[in-house]
Structure 1
Amino acid sequence: MIGRAAAAFLFVLTAATAVHAEEVTHTVLDFQDLKGWEEDDHEKALDTFLLTCPDLDDPDWRALCALAQQKPDAKDFFQLFFRPVLIEDGKKALFTGYFEPELNGSLSPGGRYRYPLYRKPPEAQGAVPWLSRREIEAGVAMQGRGLEIVWVDDLVEKFFLQIQGSGRVTLPDGRKIRVGYGGANGHEYRSVGAELVRRGIYQAHQVSAQVIKNWVRRNPAAGQELLWHNPSYVFFRRIDSVPAHMGPLGAMNRSVTAGRTIAVDPAYVPLGAPVWIEKEGAGPIRRLMIAQDTGSAIKGAQRADIFIGTGDEAGRKAGRLRDPGRMVVLLPIQRAYATATEPNL
């Protein structure tokens, strides 16, 4: 996935100070140290774990997946075969949210359906960087080549779909198609929210996805220029293999689950691992989730993006989520103690 996964903080002004590398520590905890552990629905966590654990290659994880497929008592399974490990890199924990957008579109252009979602052209495969967003949208490089998947009716919703990396498009006859991340043009992401702050239009704390959308719609010409400020451009692929009732594909090429999937930094958290979430702030969350996704903006040992769901309401909830807390990774017992900075023997 791209930097949707990216969530609200992609649109705000980021600090310009350099971040110094910190020592990474691994501390083995007890399950009784996890706030709210007893009250969680461990069966739902186990069901989500089972969606991706068959794809794990490591022998430790394969053995645990085989046990999980026998459908043991979920709480006992996690407590018997895992140990909670607090992984810290000196940075404060940050939880954001992401979602699957729903747009309106048509398989043919015309009327309000004027903004195409493109497949990645062959000449862009090895070119880094390739054409910028402005050059793609204002130029002729993509025209007349049959690279369009669908035409949508809203330029700014298309822009935010590219940030999220996947979504659904409702056709005029009510049918829905799903699109997923199909590559990018190789340009670095530049925050349009930060640009609005730089211009003095908003203060950093005022900027959100909805604020940006409203400003672009009120100022069509200037709004187009604002979106072109971000040279990064995402291409898509049509995904017909995922049933409508399931979530979009994550980094493990499996459907993600609302309220149980998180995007993490795989440099610290193994993809497929269970992760205990203690999100503070508004609407505290105490829940076992599964690390099944990534995002270019999700960096750090205590950084997670929570998949909220599909549609506008999920988008509103995701946009408001920006909270501190703590995340604790559940690792196979031997691995947990082997990686501990100071083994708790």
Structure 2
Amino acid sequence: MRHQGVLRCLQLFLARPAAALALALLGACASVPESVPGTSTPQAWPTPASPAPGTGVAPDYAGSTGPVILQRNSRWVPVPWTELPGFDSDALFEAWNAWLKSCERPGAVFASLCPEVRRLSIGDNAMQRAWLQSRLQPYRVEPLQGGQALGLLTAYFEPEFAARRQPGDGSNTPLYQLPAGLSPGKPWFNRRDAETLPQAQAALQGRELVYLADPVDAMLLQIQGSGRMRVTEPDGQQRLVRLAYAGHNGQPYQSIGRWLLDRGEVRDATWPGIRAWINRNPQRVNELLWQNPRLVFFKEEALGEFDAGFGPRGAQGVPLTPGRSIAVDPNSIPYGTPVWLASEGPNLSLQRLVMAQDTGSAIVGAVRADYFVGWGAQAGDLAGRLKQPLRLWVLWPK
């Protein structure tokens, strides 16, 4: 019967927006257990379920009802909540921070739920879990033609580098804002030509944002799409800024790691392996970097105290939350969708609620995700090593 109590408390909490009453109701709910079943009957708010005969426990919301949903690159199969590994133990309040960001630019499907999501931001795990079970239905994500629902998880991060506003002291590799004459969707000079042809250099003249010491760091920043810069200004002062993605030169992306592997130059094409090759072949750095014709351009953003706690804006247009934002194929999972993620591997074990808030050129297919791990060297080390099996479930409104 305690399960019915937490559902009733959830109804009262969400029905009254006043902060004082909400806090009082939170206190009243604080002693309820976190494992909260409910009802599979779709209503405006969950009605407390009747106990299952002879058990005294309400039946699970988890009935796998409803049809299979087809997306362009995936199919969603309804499943019971009990299929989601670790659902009873996740720290949901961490994911709620990412969900609040999604509610800044929600899609049509989730917009009506955002007022409830905001009110529940001060709820406890039990209330948030009960709300998920009452409002949403889990669907296992599978390839469009069915079959194996096991995919691939990788990770990405926001690099953090020292930079200078003016060239000098060994920092001579520029990062540019969008150049004059670049038209979206039309090819511009490739990387090699941009660095060597006079007409390309003329278009880039005066478009420099900052200068880095290492051209490989510049390449890494362009692959990741954004980064934090500790910029030394001409007066000697330092500022922390973000270089956010602004566009590219319309050329195809080519992996320099794949080029090294195909030529038998390395067996390890991670960033540490690539850097080891560069240390052995410093005279061939340009040859290596020119294998990727895509050149990425940036825009500068101030990083205030609040902004510094989040990553760059993803494809949904909202800031990414470390550990709770993923990049997906939008033809498989729409932006702003809450997703249950499970992945086990030698580098990381994950069973948690995340938000689909970004995409990437290599993130294609039904069960495919890139996990945003934060910024700096430690995040970069994890992102460089993470490549392991993945299962996904979308949580879709009933």
Q: Which of 294, 307, 317 is residue 359 of structure 2 equivalent to?
A: 294
How far did residue 126 of structure 1 move?
Answer: 4.0
Task: Output the aligned Cα RMSD.
Answer: 1.8
> In the alignment, which residue of structure 2 is the partner of 1:171?
231
1:215 matches 2:277:
yes
Amino acid at match of 2:245: Y
> In the alignment, which residue of structure 2 is the partner of 1:327?
392
1:82 matches 2:136:
yes
1:152 matches 2:217:
no
3-state SS of paired residue (1:38): coil
Residues 1:174 and 1:269: Cα distance change in structure 2 (over 3 Å):
same
1:130 matches 2:184:
no
Residues 1:179 and 1:285: Cα distance change in structure 2 (over 3 Å):
same
How far did residue 150 of structure 1 move?
Answer: 0.7
> In the alignment, which residue of structure 1 is the partner of 2:105?
55
Amino acid at match of 1:171: V
Residues 1:126 and 1:94: Cα distance change in structure 2 (over 3 Å):
closer
How far did residue 220 of structure 1 move?
Answer: 2.4
Measure the CA separation in 2 of the matches of 1:315 and 1:24. Answer: 30
How far did residue 216 of structure 1 move?
Answer: 2.2
3-state SS of paired residue (1:171): strand
1:95 matches 2:157:
no
Gaps of 5+ in 2: 1-71
How far did residue 46 of structure 1 move?
Answer: 1.7
3-state SS of paired residue (1:255): coil
Measure the CA separation in 2 of the matches of 1:268 and 1:331. Answer: 13
Gaps of 5+ in 1: 1-21, 334-345
Measure the CA separation in 2 of the matches of 1:297 and 1:29. Answer: 28
How far did residue 127 of structure 1 move?
Answer: 6.0
> In the alignment, which residue of structure 2 is the partner of 1:317?
382
Q: Is residue 177–residue 208 contact of structure 2 (8 Å, CA) maintained in 1?
A: yes
1:68 matches 2:117:
yes
Amino acid at match of 2:128: A
> In the alignment, which residue of structure 1 is the partner of 2:29?
none
Moved more, 235-244 or 73-82: 235-244
Q: Which of 258, 262, 267 is residue 194 of structure 1 equivalent to?
A: 258
Q: Is residue 191–residue 292 contact of structure 2 (8 Å, CA) maintained in 1?
A: yes
Residues 1:70 and 1:301: Cα distance change in structure 2 (over 3 Å):
same
Q: Is residue 45–residue 260 contact of structure 1 (8 Å, CA) maintained in 2?
A: yes
Q: Is residue 68–residue 77 contact of structure 1 (8 Å, CA) maintained in 2?
A: no
Q: Is residue 164–residue 212 contact of structure 2 (8 Å, CA) maintained in 1?
A: yes
> In the alignment, which residue of structure 2 is the partner of 1:3?
none
Q: Which of 71, 91, 98 is residue 41 of structure 1 equivalent to?
A: 91
Residues 1:126 and 1:41: Cα distance change in structure 2 (over 3 Å):
closer
How far did residue 199 of structure 1 move?
Answer: 1.6
3-state SS of paired residue (2:102): helix
Amino acid at match of 2:341: I
Measure the CA separation in 2 of the matches of 1:183 and 1:217. Answer: 31
1:227 matches 2:260:
no
Residues 1:67 and 1:155: Cα distance change in structure 2 (over 3 Å):
same
How far did residue 194 of structure 1 move?
Answer: 1.4
Q: Is residue 184–residue 250 contact of structure 2 (8 Å, CA) maintained in 1?
A: no
1:240 matches 2:302:
yes
Measure the CA separation in 2 of the matches of 1:127 and 1:253. Answer: 20
Measure the CA separation in 2 of the matches of 1:65 and 1:24. Answer: 26
How far did residue 42 of structure 1 move?
Answer: 1.2
Q: Is residue 107–residue 335 contact of structure 2 (8 Å, CA) maintained in 1?
A: no
Measure the CA separation in 2 of the matches of 1:269 and 1:24. Answer: 8
Q: Is residue 73–residue 366 contact of structure 2 (8 Å, CA) maintained in 1?
A: no
Residues 1:217 and 1:128: Cα distance change in structure 2 (over 3 Å):
farther
> In the alignment, which residue of structure 2 is the partner of 1:10?
none
How far did residue 217 of structure 1 move?
Answer: 3.8
Q: Is residue 43–residue 75 contact of structure 1 (8 Å, CA) maintained in 2?
A: no
How far did residue 147 of structure 1 move?
Answer: 0.3
Amino acid at match of 1:33: E
Amino acid at match of 1:237: K
The higher-RCO structure (CA 8 Å, 6+ apart) is: 1
Amino acid at match of 1:84: P
Post-superposition CA distance 1:246-294 (Å, at most 9, x none): 2222112221111100000110101011110110112211010011111
Residues 1:24 and 1:197: Cα distance change in structure 2 (over 3 Å):
same
> In the alignment, which residue of structure 2 is the partner of 1:19?
none
Measure the CA separation in 2 of the matches of 1:94 and 1:135. Answer: 35
Larger radius of gyration: 2
1:112 matches 2:170:
yes
